[in-house]
A = this chain, B = another copy of it.
Amino acid sequence: MELRHLHAFVAVAEERSFSRAATRLRVAQSAVSRTVQALERELGLPLFERSRHYVELTKTGHATLDSARAALAAAEAVRDAARQPCPAACPQPSTTPR
Give residues of chain A (53-98) contacting chain B, Cβ–Cβ below 8 Å: 54, 56-60, 62-64, 66-68, 70-71, 73-75, 77-86, 90-93, 96-98
The answer to the question of A21 belonging to the interface, with a C-beta cut-off of 8 Å to chain B, is no
Q: How many residues of A contact B (CB 8 A)?
A: 46
Number of identical protomers? 2
Asked whether, in the complex, the Cβ of A86 is within 8 Å of the Cβ of B62, the reply is: yes
How many angstroms between the C-alpha atoms of A3 and B4 in the bound complex? 10
A16: chain B residues within 8 A (beta carbon):
98
Whether A70 touches B63, Cβ cut-off 8 Å, given contacts A16-B98, A51-B98, A93-B57, is no
A59: chain B residues within 8 A (beta carbon):
85-86, 90-93
